[in-house]
Amino acid sequence: MPNIAFVNGRFMALAKARVSVEDRGFQFGDGIYELIRTYGGRLYHFKDHLERLEQSAQAIGLPFVYSTSRWKAVLEKAHAQSGYPDAKVYIQITRGEAPRDHSFPKKVHAGVIVTVRKLAPLRPELREKGASVITVPDLRWGRCDIKTINLLPNVMARQKARSAGAFEAIFVRDGLVMEGAGTNLFAVIQGRIVTPPKGPAILPGITRDLVIAQAREAGDPLMEKGITLEELLAAGEVFLTGTTTEILPVVKVDEKTIGDGKPGRITRRLYRQFLQTTRP
C-alpha cells in the first residue's frame, strides 16, 4: 500500500512526486492547505474542510480551481489507490509556477497537490495518561484564521515542544493562550468548557466546531472567550483538538500539573462521544 500523490492532474506514488523550483509555494510560501483524515476509508467532514479551503483561497486571492465534485473525485481516487483505511489526505494549492517576483503573476496557473499518507495513530499511552505542553510567544502573523502553508512559527514552536519532551506548544499572545502549533485549545474552568473565540488569531478548527456542537448538545455549559495563561494553569481540565489529534487530554502545562494530573472526566466523555461520530 503506497503513499500517493496527485500533482497538477496526475496521480503517482508520493516518492515520485515533484514540484518546480519556480512554484510560488516553494519560493514564497504562497499557498494554502487542508488536512482531511479518513476513518475506515471514508473522508471525515469533507465538506467542512473544503469550505474552509475555499475561504483560505478567497482570503489570499487565489482561484479555487476545482468544483466540489471534482475535489471529491480526486481525493477518493488518490485514497483508493493508497488502500489505507485510515489516512491523512492533504490538499495544497499554491499560486503556481512563475518567474520569481513578489507580486502575483498576470496569469495564475494554480499548483494543486494532494497527498495521501498512512495515518500513524497517537501512542495509546498518550491518550490514556494525557499529554504535556509548553507555552511559547505567538510570533505568527495577523491572519492565523487562514490555513496557509507558511508554517515556520508553527514549525519552530513544535520543535521547541519536542525538544522539551512535550507534545504541543501553545501560542500566547498578550497574556492570552490562543491555540497549539497544530491544534485548538480548550479548558474546563470552574465546571465550564471554555475555548478562545474565532477571529484572526486562531484557525477555526473543524474538530473545534464538532466538539462545541457536541458539548452544546449534551447540555454542557460552554463559552467562547479569551483564556489567560493564569486561568489555563489553574484549569480543572485542559484538552487539545485537531484532525489527527482528535481530542487529547493535557495534564501538564509548562511543568504545572493540571487538575489531579489525570485526563479529566469531561474530556474523556467528549472523546467517547467524538469516537461515535467517526464510525459508519
Pick 98 or 267: Cβ nearer ligand PDD: 267
CA 274 to chain centre: 16
214 binds ligand PDD, rule: CB under 6 A = no
Question: What is the rounded CA–CA span in Å between residue 172 and residue 178?
Answer: 6
Binding mask 227-246 for ligand PDD (x = CB under 6 A): --------------xxxx--
Q: Decide if 256 is catalytic.
A: no
Residues with Cβ within 8 Å of 63's Cβ and at least 6 positions away in sequence, in order, are 57, 108, 110
Tell which one of 3, 94, 115, 184 touches ligand PDD (CB under 6 A). 184
User: Which is nearest to 236 in space by CA: 253, 214, 224?
Assistant: 253
Q: Which of 147, 160, 225, 256 is catalytic?
A: 147
In the complex, minimum distance from the CB of residue 55 to ligand PDD, in angstroms, rounded to a whole number: 12
Min CB(83)–ligand PDD separation in Å: 22
Binding residue count for ligand PDD, defined by CB under 6 A: 14
d(CA 273, CA 280): 14
Interface residue with ligand PDD among 114, 157, 203, 222 (CB under 6 A) is: 203
Closer Cβ to ligand PDD, 100 or 123, answer by number: 123
User: Among candidates 269, 1, 247, 235, which has minimal Cα distance to 116?
Assistant: 1
Asked if 205 touches ligand PDD (CB under 6 A), the answer is: yes
- Distance in Å, CB of 4 to ligand PDD, minimum: 17
Rounded alpha-carbon distances, angstroms, from residue 59 to 98, 110, 188: 21, 15, 33
- Binding range to ligand PDD, per CB under 6 A, among 54-62, 73-81, 127-135, 198-206: 198-206
Q: What x/- string results for residues 28 through 47 when contact with ligand PDD is judged by CB under 6 A?
A: -------x------------
Q: How far apart are CA 136 and CA 158, in angstroms?
A: 10
Question: Does 92 interact with ligand PDD (rule: CB under 6 A)?
Answer: no
- Reported residue count of the chain is 280
265-278 and 206-217 are packed helices; what angle lies between their axes, rounded to 10 degrees?
A: 110
| Active centre residues (catalytic) | 147
